[in-house]
Every structure is written in structure tokens, then in C-alpha cells.
Structure 1
């Protein structure tokens, strides 16, 4: 069976669209359509269901992709590794995707040390769903996400855990009467405190309330802003309480700009994962970046 047909098939499967796959492969959309049709004729089974926007793999298509994608990626890795051996001085560009705060404050500063050694970086921010879809489609080389992907097309390695802290300004903390009062009264003590969050669904507050108070929050967001750094700024200014990663607010806690309202014996944690397309760790620039981030995360 023609490897070019299989490579086109895997690219369409990851991209979810003949048009996007054509752009990734440097082919015309009719050429991609023709190759997929030819492969389907060889197999005697449909591989995709055509829809108004893009395509959806059939069960046969999904099964084939999971079987062959790692092997095709491994062949690509071998080929590109040979190219690297021919030109060690050529900088390699790594396309990294991750959540904006963690990527900006943790990953990118750690990777700065690799820049003088031939690594170029392109960073993209997004939600976990957007990041994993982009990685599967070939738009990124390496992703950082709080969601562990399923299936065999993507491979995940645990990177680090982040601790979540319930914080507010000193003025709000004094109003609440301190941790002892909060421990005694429980979540009811927080009922009248404004909440600052990154989304209307209150993802961080909900996780904290469930883990620490064993209940769902009966509150709504007073300030909703889609960046944890902005959430921290609002809390520091006295807008209300928030749940933040400790790495993000450690300096503000140390200086007393904000206060931890509770110190639970088992604080809520969230795990970050390093995710690649299966087989691509054979590429030296991806493998080196992956290893470097794992080493840096030991101190996170």
C-alpha cells in the first residue's frame, strides 16, 4: 500500500478536514480528495463521513489511524533526524501550545536556555480542547495541558502538579475573621464575598469547593476575566476572593498583598501534562524540549 496515501489519510484524520489537510501537506484539496477516495477503493470500506464542514472518521477510519499513525510518525522522525545530522547548525523551530499563564510564567522562561543552542520557539495559547485538537492536526509539536488525551494518536507525560489556594485581599480576610472562623463556619462564611474567576462556569472555585468543602458552590462570578493574571490583579485590588495556582500568587502572598483564607491539610491539586503526537519524540528538537521541561518541572 502506498505510504503517501496513508500519510494523507492520517493528516486528514488529524485535521478533520480535506481543506486543512491539503494546506498541511502542500497539496490541492482535489488531490487530497482523490487520494482518500483511492485508498477507500483499495480497502473496500469508507474511511470518512463527509459533512458540511469537514469530515468525521468512520469506525474503520479510526481503527486504521490508531494502527498506522505511530509508525508513520516514527518514519518521519527517522527521516528528519537524518536531515538534522546533515546540518547540525540549522535552528529547528518548535511549535509549543499551552495555557497562557503557565506557558508564560513557567515553560517559556525555562526554555529560554535552549535558544542559544539552536532552538527557535513559536508559542500559541488556548484551551485544553483547542490545544489538543491543534496538536492532533499537526499545528503544534508539543503541548502543555491539564487534560490527559485518550486514544493512541497522542502521548502524554505528567509534568507537574499545581496547588490551588483560596485567596483574598487583607481587607476581605479581616472581614471574614480569619481561618479559624472560616474553619468553624465553613463555606457559609464566604456567601457574601464577591468571586473573581476565569469563566462563568467557575472551574477553579468549583474544584476547590468540591475538594475542601465537599459541596458545589452556590455563588456566581462577580468578575469574570479569561486570564489568571488578571484575576490576581483584581483580587489584589480588593475585588473579592479567588482560587489561584500557588505558583502564580506566591509573590503576592509573600508580600502580604493577598492572604490565603484557608490552609487545608490536603490542598486541591491539578496536574499538567506534556503531550506529543505518538512517535514524534524521535525528532531531536522535540525530544530535547520535552526532556528539558521535565527537568525544569522538578523545581516547580
Structure 2
């Protein structure tokens, strides 16, 4: 059996698309199609069912992928780690939310710089953009708040972040905290809201999980960066819902005040994703392991 055909087959199986697999392998889409047809002829069985968007593996295709993928990954690990002395110097391409990369991920990766690791980061518009870039081979690792689905990705839970309802001290002094705890967000009437988007993603999640009601407010200020939301809020902009890791120092120094301490605070999970079969790459494996170790203390 030609290993190149099996490698292409596994890439298509994981990607769910000839086009995405071609991009990952550095081949043309017709070349990938030709290789899969050749493999199907040799086996005498169809491996994929062509759909309007992508392909779906047949039962035979799933069985072959289950048997072949671990061995191909092991061969890749051998060739990458033992026979390519310069592989560790390949540039690591990383993507994720700008605030989390800035305050958590990038500081954790600095030990790799002493080993000569090159690093490039991207700040996609949202989690789906980041995962699409990972699937297309533009990124090696992605930190995301959306759990990746499907066999194309290898995913680990990185950490959970707690969300905190905060306000500038001048606005906090006007809020009846007991009423907020006992009767809900009506106690916040008149306090301006600062958010990252008009749809109020953080406020809506907090209101739903803590108050069991949707917000009936609009943002007085929208700034598409959580660090800017923090600074604007602390300067007197109003109230905001922020990750605790981001506003922890501001809380400690009194620049902002936590308005509520719910028994079960809202949490959001971060995931660390790579393309399946790539974690053996020497430029990727150390970064992946380093982030998982660091996240245990976040």
C-alpha cells in the first residue's frame, strides 16, 4: 500500500473535504481527488460519499481511518523528531482572542524563545474564523472559546474563566447591592453599560446565568477589545462584565468594584486546538505542552 495515498486519505477523512485536505497537504484539489480514486480502485470499495459540501466517510472509510491514522501519526513523529534537525526552528503560528493571548498565552510561551522558536500570532475576528484558519493550515495552534467539532481537530480544555460584574467606584456607590442580590438587575437602572459588541454578549450571558433574564438595556459605549472596556469602565464609563483574569488587578487596587458575588459565577471555557495528527511536530508539541502546564495555574 502506498503510504502517500494513505496520508492523503487520512487528511481527507479528518478534513471532511477534498479542498481543505489539499490545502493542508500542499497539493491541488484534483491531485487529492485522483489519489483517493486510486486508493478506492485498489481496495475495490468506496471510501467517501460525495456531498454538496464536502464528503462523508463510508463504513469502510471509517474503519480504514481508525486503523491507519495512529500508525501514520507515529511515522510522522519519528520522521519529524529524529530525521529533521531543523524542524524545531519552524515558525509556530498561533491564533486566539487578543486579550487572552496578551495576558495569558504569550507570557507562558516565552521560555521557547531561548530555544530559537519563532512565533507569529493572528487575531481572528471570532472563534469560527480562528478554527477555519486552523482547518486551512494558516495556524498551528488556536485558543478558542468555541469547542471544535469533528475529527479534523485535536482539542484540550485549557481553562475556565470567571466573569465578574464590575463598575467604576462612582457608579458602584449608587447601586443598592442588597437589592441587586435580592431582586435582580432593576437595581442597576440608570448605570451605563460598556460592552464589546452591540449584541451585549458578556452582559447577556451574565444576566441569563445569574439573574435568569435577558438584559433590557443597550450599551452606552461599545469597544471591541476587553482591555479597552476595562479602561473605559474604570475611568467612569459605567458597568461591564469582564473576565476575572483581566480585571483582577483593577479590583485589587479599587479602580473597579465588583457589584455582585453570586454563589455560582458564570464561567467560560477556553480550548486549545490543533489539527489532528500534528501534535508530534517539534515546533508545535513543546508549545502545546507548555500551555497545558501553565493553564493549570490560571
Give TM class, smaller chain: 0.7 to 0.9
Q: Deviations over 1:61-119 (max 9, x none)?
A: 984796355543333222111234x458x623222222111011111011112101132
Which whole-Å CA distance do the structure 1 matches of 2:270 and 2:20 have between them?
A: 29
Which whole-Å CA distance do the structure 1 matches of 2:3 and 2:18 have between them?
A: 18
- Bigger shift: 230-239 or 42-51? 42-51
Query: Structure 2: which 5+ runs fail to align?
Result: none
Which whole-Å CA distance do the structure 1 matches of 2:170 and 2:65 have between them?
A: 55
Q: Which one of the candidate residues 96, 102, 105 is aligned to 1:104?
A: 102
Which whole-Å CA distance do the structure 2 matches of 1:287 and 1:114 have between them?
A: 11
| SS of aligned partner of 2:284 | helix
Alignment partner, residue 176 of structure 1: 175
Q: How much is the aligned-residue C-alpha RMSD, in angstroms?
A: 2.9
Residues 159/30 of structure 1: CA separation in 2 closer, same or farther (3 Å cut): closer
| SS of aligned partner of 2:262 | coil
- Contact kept? 1:14, 1:137, Cα under 8 Å: no
Which whole-Å CA distance do the structure 1 matches of 2:144 and 2:13 have between them?
A: 21
Which whole-Å CA distance do the structure 1 matches of 2:214 and 2:255 have between them?
A: 28
- Bigger shift: 69-78 or 112-121? 69-78
- Bigger shift: 66-75 or 197-206? 66-75
Tell me, yes or no, if structure 1 residue 244 matches structure 2 residue 270.
Answer: no
Alignment partner, residue 224 of structure 1: 222
- Contact kept? 1:66, 1:151, Cα under 8 Å: no
Residues 58/19 of structure 1: CA separation in 2 closer, same or farther (3 Å cut): closer
Which whole-Å CA distance do the structure 1 matches of 2:277 and 2:94 have between them?
A: 17
Paired residues, number = 294
| SS of aligned partner of 1:270 | strand
- Contact kept? 1:101, 1:228, Cα under 8 Å: yes
Residues 263/111 of structure 1: CA separation in 2 closer, same or farther (3 Å cut): same
Which whole-Å CA distance do the structure 1 matches of 2:221 and 2:49 have between them?
A: 44
Q: Aligned ranges for residues 100-179 of structure 1 at < 5 Å?
A: 100-126=98-124, 127-177=126-176, 179=177
Alignment partner, residue 47 of structure 1: 48
Alignment partner, residue 74 of structure 2: 74
TM-score by structure 2 length?
0.84
- Contact kept? 1:74, 1:280, Cα under 8 Å: no
Residue 16 (structure 1) shift: 6.6
- Contact kept? 1:167, 1:243, Cα under 8 Å: yes
Residues 69/130 of structure 1: CA separation in 2 closer, same or farther (3 Å cut): farther
Residue 185 (structure 1) shift: 3.4
Residues 66/148 of structure 1: CA separation in 2 closer, same or farther (3 Å cut): farther
Residue 37 (structure 1) shift: 4.0
| SS of aligned partner of 1:166 | strand
| SS of aligned partner of 1:176 | coil
